[in-house]
Amino acid sequence: MAFFYFYTNTFNTFYVINNVNILDMKLRLIISIAVFSILFTVKGQKPTDFELWTGASVKLKLNKRFKVDVEQQVRFNDTISSLKKTFTELGLKYQMNKSIAFKVNYRFVIRPTKSNQNRISLDAYYHWDKKKFPLSFDYRLRFQNTKNSILGENFTYLRNKLSLKYNLTKLVDPSIA
C-alpha cells in the first residue's frame, strides 16, 4: 500500500489517495511499453523468411549434486521448407553449492548443406539471490571447442553470459541477458 499526496492551489488543500497498489501500476506500465514496442517493431518487418526451432529435452537428477540431461533440436529455415540443422546434446552438471555449479556438454551437429560438427563445452555458473529481494543475478562462463568433421577445423571460444531477473509478480518476471 502507498499513500500519494497531491497539493492544489485552490483553497490550499492536500488530497490523499489511499489504497494505490504500486505493483499494479508497474505492471500496467510494463505491459504498455511492451505493446507499443511490439507495434512499432512489427510495422518495419517484412515476412519474407522465417525459421522454426523445435526441441525436446530430458533431465535426470542422479543425486543432490549431479544432473544429466539430453537434448534434441531440429531447426528449419527458408519458410520451414528445408532442414537447417539438427543436433543432439548430452550434459553432466555438478552443483557444488547453492551458488556455484559446473557443467560439461557434448553436442553433435548435422548440417545438410555444410559439414557436421562436434562440440565440447565446459561451463561455470554463479547464481546470486536474496530472500525477499526481487532481483537475482546469474553469470555463466563457457569454454567451447567446435571441430568441423570433414575439414578438421577447430574453433575455440570463451563466452560470457550475464543475466538479471526481477521478480515482479508470480506471473511476470522480466529479465535481461
pLDDT tops 90 at residue 72: yes
pLDDT tops 50 at residue 77: yes
The pLDDT of residue 5 is: 44
Task: Label the pairing between strands 100-110 and 82-95.
Answer: antiparallel
pLDDT tops 90 at residue 45: no
Sheet containing strand 154-166, edge to edge, reads: 52-61, 66-77, 82-95, 100-110, 117-129, 135-148, 154-166, 175-176
- Which grid coordinates belong to 79? 519458410
Against a cut of 0.85, is the pTM above it?
Answer: no
Cα separation, 129 vs 102, whole angstroms: 18
* Exposure string over 15-28, b if 16+ CB within 10 A, otherwise e: eeeeeeeeeeeeee
The pLDDT of residue 21 is: 55
